[in-house]
Amino acid sequence: MRYDLDDLRLFVHVVTEGSITAGARRMHLSLPSASARVRSLEHHAGVELLVRGRRGVRPTPAGSTLARHARDVLDQTVRMESAVAGYVRPSVAPLVLLAGGSAMHRLVPQALAAFLRERPEVDVTVAERRTPQTLHLLADGGADLGIVLDGESRDSGLRTERLGDDSIVVIGQAGGVLAERATMTYREVAEHPLVGLDAQSSLQQWIEKHLGAHAPAARYRTLVGDLTTLIALVAAGVGLAVVPRRAIPPELALDVRELQDPWARRHHLLCWGTRSPSSPAALAALAEHLRAASR
């Protein structure tokens, strides 16, 4: 026996609403058309599916069984269509977003998740780059948007706007060696065992660049590849760490102290590339999600 999906959808609506009239309305059908479809279902099933009364309809045992299986069939159909749609090539080229390690930790994932749910027809290519590399690619048309640091993006000639604070702080286990301190210099921080990011990370390279040749000798208990692991080790009491304030999960109990060094105060900027995007509206939407995530 073959069933029409629209007939099954109508029957589920009728059973849910308890009324053929209401089911017809949900399917944008006339009442005579909906009634004919229901009668056709009963004819093909060879059994009465609805008990009709002055106050509406209710399913017979056979009707309840059909409605239950119809819901399963319709749910499976939606999943099938969604799975197949995942192979459809988007009609526009992917947007390209570049950002440093700090922004990639929480800001970019939060904005990207909201944007991709809202715009299923648009893909986004994301890559971690230091600010000089990001500015070069944006200027050469190799990217659409970038999140850069204010101190390294002056005189770029590119359109920018302030996105949010990205100051560097020192963190330690709650109630540990930072408990009695209000602020510290990096040189004082380096007197304690540290946990750091590996040498290839954009944040570690940025810190070492500003410390220069006069950087104090520091003992790193370990070097890790991401901020999530770094912060977890600090919370466990392995050592202190220097991280962007915005990377610290608000629910995590840590001692957080300002760094007195001038280079520790910095801001994120949103920066636009020079190429014409294939979808200006999508680019504007991505920028708005980045603004929202930075608040």
Give the Å distances, CA to CA, from 90 to 96, 112, 113, 121, 144.
Answer: 14, 17, 18, 6, 17
Burial class (CB in 10 A: 0-12, 13-18, 19+), 65: middle
pTM for this model (two decimals): 0.65
- In angstroms, the CA 100 to CA 48 distance is 66
In a domain, 197, yes or no: yes
> 109 and 129: one domain?
yes
- In angstroms, the CA 145 to CA 95 distance is 8
In a domain, 248, yes or no: yes
Residue 223: name the closest of 208, 245, 212 by CA: 208
- Helix H or strand E encompassing 222: strand 220-224
Burial class (CB in 10 A: 0-12, 13-18, 19+), 18: middle
Give how many domains the chain has, as a whole number.
3
Residue 16: the pLDDT is 92
Residue 249: the pLDDT is 87
- Helix H or strand E encompassing 184: strand 183-184
Residue 151: the pLDDT is 81
Residue 278: the pLDDT is 78
Residue 1: the pLDDT is 65
CATH number, domain containing residue 50: 1.10.10.10
Residue 90: the pLDDT is 59
CATH number, domain containing residue 246: 3.40.190.10
In a domain, 22, yes or no: yes
Instruction: Give me the sign of the Cα torsion angle 118, 119, 124, 130.
Output: negative
Q: Which residues of 223-246 are buried (b: 16+ CB within 10 A; e: fewer)?
A: ebeebeebbebbbeebbbbbbbbb
> 52 and 194: one domain?
no
> 119 and 251: one domain?
no
Residue 231: the pLDDT is 94
**Domain range holding 201?**
168-264
pLDDT in tens, the chain (295 residues): 678 899 999 999 999 999 999 999 988 889 999 999 999 998 888 899 999 988 899 999 999 999 999 999 988 988 887 777 666 665 678 999 999 888 998 899 999 999 999 988 899 999 999 899 999 999 999 999 999 998 887 778 899 999 999 999 999 999 999 998 999 999 999 999 999 999 888 888 888 888 877 778 889 999 998 999 999 999 999 999 999 998 898 888 899 999 999 989 999 999 999 988 878 999 999 999 999 998 8
- In angstroms, the CA 282 to CA 112 distance is 12
List CB contacts of 128: < 8 A, sequence separation 6 or more: 98, 99, 100, 101, 104, 202
In a domain, 90, yes or no: no
Quickly list H helices, the chain.
5-17, 20-26, 31-45, 61-85, 101-105, 107-118, 131-139, 186-189, 202-211, 227-235, 280-294
> 246 and 103: one domain?
no
Quickly list H helices, 46-148.
61-85, 101-105, 107-118, 131-139
Burial class (CB in 10 A: 0-12, 13-18, 19+), 280: exposed
Q: Are 95 and 123 in contact (CB under 8 A)?
A: yes
> 44 and 9: one domain?
yes
In a domain, 217, yes or no: yes
